[in-house]
Chain A
Amino acid sequence: ELKVEQNPLFLSMQEGKNYTIYCNYSTTSDRLYWYRQDPGKSLESLFVLLSNGAVKQEGRLMASLDTKARLSTLHITAAVHDLSATYFCAVDPYGGSQGNLIFGKGTKLSVKP
């Protein structure tokens, strides 16, 4: 069975602290996506990781991909309240051009002053 597992599922952080969210997946995939979702809102694309060793950074967020370990990480540096949201990773297990995604359960991040 294809599985995409995120941990932790809930994360409460203080402002200014660093933390990492992990995304493990059970199938071969060289494409991994990270999305952000605010409460009651839709999903916003954060990162597209397309190869082993890919690293992308945007502001306080940095994502990386290790396809051999089937692991992606989303690292948060010096968290601020505005980063509070649910973060989903997703993999494309079929390759090709149709881009079907299997999502993890999401990590609900709460950043407190």
Chain B
Amino acid sequence: DAMVIQNPRYQVTQFGKPVTLSCSQTLNHNVMYWYQQKSSQAPKLLFHYYDKDFNNEADTPDNFQSRRPNTSFCFLDIRSPGLGDAAMYLCATRLAVRTDTQYFGPGTRLTVL
């Protein structure tokens, strides 16, 4: 059974048209992360939630926002996508204990036309 689910798997948007990506989890993990991964690059952390506490990475553009209405769901909003925002967006979750790893969803591939 899928534990971290991302929707949609593929998203095509136009330059400047807002887009929202969704992540849900059945693990009841208290930490959720959003990463951006461009082709042949490492995943780059955008932000994360520890329960309801939002933590933004210093170099995450203002164009990217996130919401976590409850434990299970987290959204990534891109307010005005540019061509440089085309990437795979990965959601991950983790139980906040020392021994745990991050569990990644399948990703959403975003294309900006």
Given contacts A42-B90, A42-B107, A105-B42, are A99 and B31 in contact (CB under 8 A)?
yes
- Complexed CA–CA distance, A45 and B101 (Å): 7
Report the stretch among B13-21, B60-68, B71-79, B91-99 that lies at the interface: B91-99
Does the CB pair A100–B104 fall under 8 Å? no
Q: Is the CB of B96 within 8 A of A43?
A: no
| Contact yes or no, A88 B105, CB < 8 A | no
Contacts of B41 in A (CB 8 A): 105-106
Residues of chain A with a CB closer than 8 A to B43's CB: 43, 88, 103
Chain B hits for A48, CB < 8 A: 99-101
Distance to closest chain A CB from B108 (angstroms): 10
Tell me, yes or no, whether A25 is within 8 Å of chain B by CB. no
Determine the chain A residues whose CB is within 8 A of the CB of B48 once the complex forms: 98, 100
Evaluate contact between B104 and A44: CB separation under 8 angstroms: yes
B107 engages A33 (CB within 8 Å): no
From residue A110, how far is it (CB to closest CB) to chain B in Å?
A: 14
Set of chain B residues within 8 Å of A99, measured between Cβ atoms: 31, 94, 96, 100, 102
A68-113, CB < 8 A from B: 88, 97-106
Taking the nearest CB of chain A, how far is it from the CB of B63, in angstroms?
Answer: 21
B50: A residues at CB distance < 8 A: 97-98
Q: Is the CB of B31 within 8 A of A98?
A: yes
A33 near B104 with CB under 8 A, answer: no
**For the complex, what is the distance from the CA of A104 to the CA of B55, rounded to whole Å?**
22
Query: If A103-B42, A105-B42, A106-B42 touch, does A97 touch B96 (CB 8 Å cutoff)?
Result: yes
- Chain B proximity of A17: nearest CB distance (Å): 24
Q: Who on chain A is nearest to B57 by CB?
A: A100
Give residues in A with beta carbon < 8 Å to B: 31, 33, 35, 40-45, 48, 50, 88, 97-106
A–B complex contacts, Cβ < 8 Å, 17 sampled: A33-B101, A35-B104, A40-B109, A42-B104, A42-B107, A48-B100, A48-B101, A88-B42, A99-B94, A99-B100, A99-B102, A100-B33, A101-B45, A101-B102, A102-B45, A103-B42, A106-B40
